Amino acid sequence: MSGAPPVVVVGDVMVDVVAAAAAPLAHASDTDARVRWTGGGAAANVAAWLASCDVPVALVARAGADVAGRGAVAELREAGVDIRIALDHARATGTCVVVIGADGERTMLPDRGANLALAPDDVPAELFVPGAHLHLSGYVLLHEGPRAAGLAALDHAHEAGMTISVDPASAAPLRACGVDRVLEWIAGCDVLLPNLDEARVLSGEEDAEAAARVLLGRARAREVVVTLGAAGALWTDGASVVRVDAPRVGQVVDTTGAGDAFAAGWLAARRDGAEAREALGMACALGARAVSRAGARPS
């Protein structure tokens, strides 16, 4: 990787236990499935995808000082990520049970474990320098335990004059945490990267374009990018709107991590100077690659 300032990704690292059902789920009974263990966590996934795009990237997170945590660190380091992961001797590594239906859609049951103990002292101030970029996973802000660390990262980035992108994380926790509080914390970010459900929750608008325009004002963001699943994605800066279709995928194998791959593709393209349409295309292509294979990380 180059000596350029890195993308600093702050958020979660998880181990995913993925159960891919062979047929529609038989509730209160048995359904045959393929079960595997794989690396996960939105922030860790973004970092791994960025590294696969040859973008210098550092990951700030917290994991258990257990076999799963040490394995996650080794896997990410092998992928080319600058590891800034604190190992917690009191809490286990976060684990997420991911149930994938026969149609490829997934339902997640997370136990955030050591992620909930991420602290401001875990955020290395030396990473926050002019020219670097902060990508913050919203999960850090949506839980009381790691919130101070997320806010500290935002403060460091603002003080250093860094650009900032925020992934709001997930619609249900956003509602539970409180939309107004979240928007206050992330106000002034350069790029907000919600999916359609998150954009609707944050804006109160059903239409994707209307939601994006509302969020430009409510989050005081410079750009909003809304992912639309199989329908692609849209971008707006208030003056213009760009929509891009998603590439065709022969078979949707696993949608876990598709949004994280999209975010990495967008950040990598924009870092290289791509205009919005080109960046959306690269982001959608990386998301399509993610859904066509098993697991949330690049192979």
**Average pLDDT value for residue range 226-245:** 95
Would you say 69 and 93 are in contact if contact means Cβ atoms under 8 Å apart?
Answer: yes
Res. 240: pLDDT tops 70: yes
Res. 2: pLDDT tops 60: no
- The predicted-structure confidence for 93-122, as pLDDT tens digits, reads as follows 999 998 888 887 778 898 999 999 999 999
Least confident of 135-139, 228-232, 239-243: 228-232
The pLDDT confidence band at residue 252, using thresholds 50, 70 and 90, is confident
The pLDDT confidence band at residue 1, using thresholds 50, 70 and 90, is very low
Q: How many CA atoms lie within 13 A of 70 on its CB side?
A: 4
CA angle 250, 287, 140 (to 5 degrees): 145
**Average pLDDT value for residue range 123-149:** 97
Q: What are the CA-CA distances from residue 24 to residues 19, 28, 35, 95 (Å)?
A: 12, 12, 16, 24
CATH topology of domain 7-14+40-94+112-291: UDP-N-acetylmuramoyl-L-alanine:D-glutamate ligase (3.40.1190)
Quick one: tokens of 76? 């990410």
For the chain, the structural domain boundaries read 7-14+40-94+112-291
239: left (phi over 0), alpha (psi -120 to 50) or beta: alpha
Q: Which residue has the higher pLDDT, 296 or 248?
A: 248
Please state, in angstroms and rounded to a whole number, the distance separating the CA atoms of residues 297 and 62: 18
- The predicted-structure confidence for 187-235, as pLDDT tens digits, reads as follows 999 999 999 999 999 999 999 999 999 999 999 999 999 999 889 999 9
Res. 272: pLDDT tops 90: yes
pLDDT at residue 38, rounded to an integer: 87
pLDDT at residue 58, rounded to an integer: 98
Highest mean pLDDT among 28-42, 145-159, 285-299: 145-159
What residue type is 232 in one-letter code?
Answer: G
**Average pLDDT value for residue range 153-180:** 96
Res. 276: pLDDT tops 90: yes
Share of the chain above pLDDT 90, in %: 80
pLDDT at residue 296, rounded to an integer: 67
Please state, in angstroms and rounded to a whole number, the distance separating the CA atoms of residues 86 and 91: 11
- DSSP assignment of 141-185, as one string? HHSHHHHHHHHHHHHHHHHHT-EEEEE---HHHHHHH-HHHHHHH
pLDDT at residue 20, rounded to an integer: 87
Please state, in angstroms and rounded to a whole number, the distance separating the CA atoms of residues 43 and 134: 11
**Average pLDDT value for residue range 229-253:** 90
Please state, in angstroms and rounded to a whole number, the distance separating the CA atoms of residues 232 and 68: 34
The pLDDT confidence band at residue 290, using thresholds 50, 70 and 90, is confident
pLDDT at residue 105, rounded to an integer: 77
Least confident of 153-157, 202-206, 216-220, 253-257: 253-257
Backbone angles phi and psi of 33, in degrees to 5: -155, 160
Which residues, at least 6 apart from 279, have a Cβ–Cβ distance to it below 8 Å?
235, 265, 266, 269, 270
pLDDT at residue 30, rounded to an integer: 95
pLDDT at residue 102, rounded to an integer: 84
